[in-house]
């Protein structure tokens, strides 16, 4: 593949040949590999702040999950189909939020 190469310092344009690393290799995957190699290791400033607050955020989300579970188990709610449905949806949302937070915490742990 021939690709134009512009040298701004010299004000000239030339061409160079770019050969794929492997025969039949996906160029998108090659770019992703190169990007991953150039990314700096460690957490960014915002990720550090997120990581530091993650435990408290998870505890809050787990408390909300517990409250949603108690509400769902309430006999008054269980006897009303509409209320039970809304309580179930709230419980599922809380459960998903906790799962997302734990996945994010694992990502930050791995990156740190």
Distance of CA 85 to the CA centre of its chain: 29
Query: How far apart, in Å, are the Cα atoms of 5 and each of 11, 94, 103?
Result: 11, 52, 42
* Alpha helices in 22-80, H assignment, sequence order: 27-38, 45-73, 75-78
Mean pLDDT across 30-39:
55
Query: What are the phi and psi torsion angles at 63 (to 5°)?
Result: -65, -40
Residue with tokens 């990156």: 111
Paired tokens of 106: 């694992």
Distance CA 18, CA 7 (A): 17
Q: pTM of this prediction?
A: 0.62
Q: Which pLDDT tens digit goes with each residue over 49-100?
A: 999 999 999 999 999 999 999 999 999 999 999 999 999 999 999 999 999 9
């Amino acid at each position: 593949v021939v690709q134009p190469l512009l040298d701004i310092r010299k004000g000239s344009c030339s061409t160079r040949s770019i050969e794929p690393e492997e025969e039949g290799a996906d160029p998108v995957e090659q770019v992703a590999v190169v990007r991953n190699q150039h990314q700096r290791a460690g957490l960014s400033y915002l990720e550090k702040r997120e990581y530091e607050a993650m435990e408290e955020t998870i505890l809050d989300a787990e408390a909300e999950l517990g409250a949603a579970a108690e509400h769902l188990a309430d006999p008054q709610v269980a006897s009303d189909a509409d209320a039970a449905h809304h309580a179930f949806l709230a419980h599922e949302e809380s459960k998903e939020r906790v799962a997302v937070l734990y996945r994010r915490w694992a990502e930050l742990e791995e990156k740190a």
